[in-house]
Amino acid sequence: MIVKKLAIVGAGLIGGSFALALKQAGAVGEVLGVGRNPASLDAAIGRGLIDRVADWAAAGQADCIFLAMPVGDTESVLSALLPHLKPGAIITDAGSTKGNVIAAARAVLTTRFNDFVPGHPIAGSEQSGPLAARADLYEGKKVVLTPEPDTRADALATVQALWVAAGSQVETLDAALHDRIFAAVSHLPHLAAFALVDELAGRADSDTFFRFAASGFRDFTRIAGSSPEMWRDIAMANRPALLTEIDAYLGALQAMRQAVAEKDAEALLDMFLRARAARENWMKTQDV
Specify the residue, 58 or 103, whose C-beta has the smaller distance to a second copy. 103
CB of residue 230 to a second copy, shortest distance in Å: 9
Q: Which range in 5-13, 84-92, 108-116, 180-188 contacts a second copy by CB under 8 A?
A: 180-188
Q: Which range in 2-10, 12-20, 57-65, 258-266 contacts a second copy by CB under 8 A?
A: 258-266
CB neighbour list of residue 148: distance below 8 Å, 6 or more residues apart: 102, 106, 113, 118, 175
CB neighbour list of residue 252: distance below 8 Å, 6 or more residues apart: none
For residue 105, what are the CA distances in angstroms to 43, 82, 137, 224?
A: 29, 10, 26, 30
**Scanning residues 228 to 257, which ones bind a second copy (CB under 8 A)?**
228-229, 231-232, 235-236, 239, 242-243, 246-257
**DSSP secondary structure, 169-182, as one string:** EEEE--HHHHHHHH
Using CB under 8 A as the binding rule, whether residue 200 contacts a second copy is answered as: yes
Q: Which range in 33-41, 73-81, 140-148, 159-167 contacts a second copy by CB under 8 A?
A: 140-148
CB of residue 106 to a second copy, shortest distance in Å: 21
Specify the residue, 50 or 143, whose C-beta has the smaller distance to a second copy. 143
Using CB under 8 A as the binding rule, whether residue 172 contacts a second copy is answered as: no
Alpha helices of 86-201 — where are they, by DSSP H?
Answer: 99-109, 153-165, 175-182, 188-201
Specify the residue, 56 or 231, whose C-beta has the smaller distance to a second copy. 231
Specify the residue, 161 or 200, whose C-beta has the smaller distance to a second copy. 200
Specify the residue, 74 or 186, whose C-beta has the smaller distance to a second copy. 186
Q: How far apart are CA 242 and CA 97, in angstroms?
A: 11
Among 36, 52, 86, 274, binds a second copy (CB under 8 A): 274
Q: How far apart are CA 173 and CA 176, in angstroms?
A: 8
Q: Which range in 14-22, 36-44, 118-126, 156-164 contacts a second copy by CB under 8 A?
A: 118-126
In 3D space, the residue among 171, 175, 148 whose CA is nearest the CA of residue 160 turns out to be 171
Using CB under 8 A as the binding rule, whether residue 184 contacts a second copy is answered as: yes
Using CB under 8 A as the binding rule, whether residue 57 contacts a second copy is answered as: no
For residue 167, what are the CA distances in angstroms to 67, 121, 234, 280?
A: 19, 11, 26, 26
CB-CB contact of 14 with 66 (8 Å): no
CB of residue 86 to a second copy, shortest distance in Å: 34
Q: In the Cβ-directed half-sphere of 71, how many Cα atoms lie within 13 Å?
A: 24
CB of residue 275 to a second copy, shortest distance in Å: 4
Among 84, 106, 142, 152, binds a second copy (CB under 8 A): 142
Dmax over CA atoms of the chain, in Å, equals 67
Using CB under 8 A as the binding rule, whether residue 154 contacts a second copy is answered as: no
Task: Determine which helix (DSSP H) or strand (DSSP E) holds 17, and give its type and residue range.
Answer: helix 13-24
CB-CB contact of 133 with 17 (8 Å): yes
Using CB under 8 A as the binding rule, whether residue 221 contacts a second copy is answered as: yes
Using CB under 8 A as the binding rule, whether residue 285 contacts a second copy is answered as: yes
CB of residue 175 to a second copy, shortest distance in Å: 14
CB-CB contact of 81 with 24 (8 Å): no
